[in-house]
Chains A and B, each alone.
Chain A
């Protein structure tokens, strides 16, 4: 399969505003694909469309070859799509381990009857889930804190916990919404390592990020949005040279002056 996630003409209109304007996007499996753009470019709305929290006004989304345009959010998760949020949304009252186990919800098939009967299959599923959750906590470096209340973790650890929760069910695609926001340079460097490990484990990464050096170092492919439209897509090196991208960030006047200086 050459395309894991494909958006075709995806549009979301709000009263008087087109937040996402006929965006086409193809995310190749095994890549780190970044979406960048100035504030208000529609990046988070695009993420919400992909994960099903916002319904598109027009256009199609397909994932793993299936159309998921009308699929509810929980089904997209069960198909193999994880995500994190720009503002951290961990389950604060739960322990670290329970948070990650919640990310494994689709791996449990039994209902109330199976739980009350204490079916062996369900017990095995619970044991396997705990083993998997501890592995993921190892990956993000939080295993030692697995029994701590999630709300007691420092900010950077909460971000990593959210990533662990999104990775728990070994999704095919994970959406990271500004994972480096609020991190210091050391934490950002560790995060870059983690994102590479995620790609190495076979999970494709689609990320929104404002930290340009982070994006440019890490990404295989970069899509640039401005005012809801895709204005450019290419490798990080191509994005750096592209006048339309510079113009989107710095405005036409500065961009023109920079072009003169460059010549």
Chain B
């Protein structure tokens, strides 16, 4: 590595990690929005991935190669658990129910000593890095891209446009909904495990309501026409606070203004293009 790159990386290491992790979180909200579900459990799933992976590393001394895939298990179990009762809800009711999951879990982390209570878990060894974070992000993007162009992508867009019509076409709507929720849990769980293993510390307040809304705003800004769109949204919203350091306390205001402008004037996001959803004839 040339010295200037080394310097740059040293200075912006956390930002580089955050861009990759937030990219995965953007894909996590993308998969549920792409089937027309306003499910806001991504931050909660991320927290489950972070806590379960940190505990596997700290208390059971498991190798990271095992911890990383295993970090999906708990979020997926919770997704299955809440999937049955909540997937009959739609729109804002589903949003509220899934935000509730995040708040319940926050209270659990806070009040159970095994999870570190209010202090969280610290001293998590730095096991993840550029390779694991961006490798998984690239793999997730590629998989979602291929799926988006297949009959599954068509079914997802059909559901998002008109669920009744999609069902009349023979699309198993409940199965797709659950599938999207599980995929969302996997992606957020991985993001949680990766971020826990680059930041050395996790706390109960990192996975509540505010991050849930931030993750949603990635997709609102970027759009959901292609999988890359929400990732771009995440990158912009992660970089902006750094670029706007001069604005000090007004940074969040500026962030908010950008989201409002995007929602008002770019209803399909800054990357409104859509995938062609069929193969070659």
Number of residues on chain A facing chain B (CB within 8 A): 43
Q: Which of B162, B165, B168 has the most CB of A within 10 A?
A: B168
CB 8 Å contact bits of B157-197 with A (1 = contact, 0 = none)? 11001101111111111000001000000000000000000
Residues of A close to B161: CB separation below 8 A: 91-94
Is the CB of B279 closer than 8 A to any CB of chain A?
yes
Q: Give the number of residue pairs across the A-B interface with Cβ within 8 Å.
A: 101
Number of residues on chain B facing chain A (CB within 8 A): 30
Residues of B close to A72: CB separation below 8 A: 167
Residues of A close to B173: CB separation below 8 A: 74
Is the CB of A165 closer than 8 A to any CB of chain B?
yes
Cα of A78 to Cα of B170 in the assembled complex, Å: 5
Cα of A115 to Cα of B183 in the assembled complex, Å: 15
Residues of A close to B154: CB separation below 8 A: 94, 98, 101-102, 105
CB 8 Å contact bits of A123-143 with B (1 = contact, 0 = none)? 101110111001000000000
Residues of B close to A1: CB separation below 8 A: none
A91 touches B165 (CB 8 A): yes
**Closest chain A residue, CB of each to CB of B171:** A105
Of the stretches B59-67, B145-153, B207-215, B245-253, the one at the interface is B145-153
Cα of A105 to Cα of B164 in the assembled complex, Å: 14
A126-B168 contact in complex given A105-B154, A116-B143, A116-B146, C-beta closer than 8 Å: no
Residues of B close to A115: CB separation below 8 A: 146-147, 150-152
Segment 245-281 of B: residues with Cβ below 8 Å from A: 274, 276-281
Is the CB of B229 closer than 8 A to any CB of chain A?
no
Is the CB of B79 closer than 8 A to any CB of chain A?
no
Q: Which of A91, A108, A116 touches B158 (beta carbons < 8 Å)?
A: A91
Cα of A64 to Cα of B208 in the assembled complex, Å: 52
* B227–chain A nearest beta-carbon distance, Å: 13
A91-B170 contact in complex given A102-B155, A126-B278, C-beta closer than 8 Å: no
Cα of A77 to Cα of B158 in the assembled complex, Å: 15
Residues of A close to B274: CB separation below 8 A: 93
Which chain A residues have a beta carbon within 8 Å of chain B's beta carbons?
Answer: 51, 53, 72-75, 77-78, 82-83, 85, 89-95, 97-98, 101-106, 108, 111-112, 115-116, 118, 122-123, 125-127, 129-131, 134, 165, 169
Known: A91-B165, A105-B151. 6 other contacts (CB 8 A): A74-B171, A94-B157, A98-B277, A102-B169, A112-B147, A165-B169
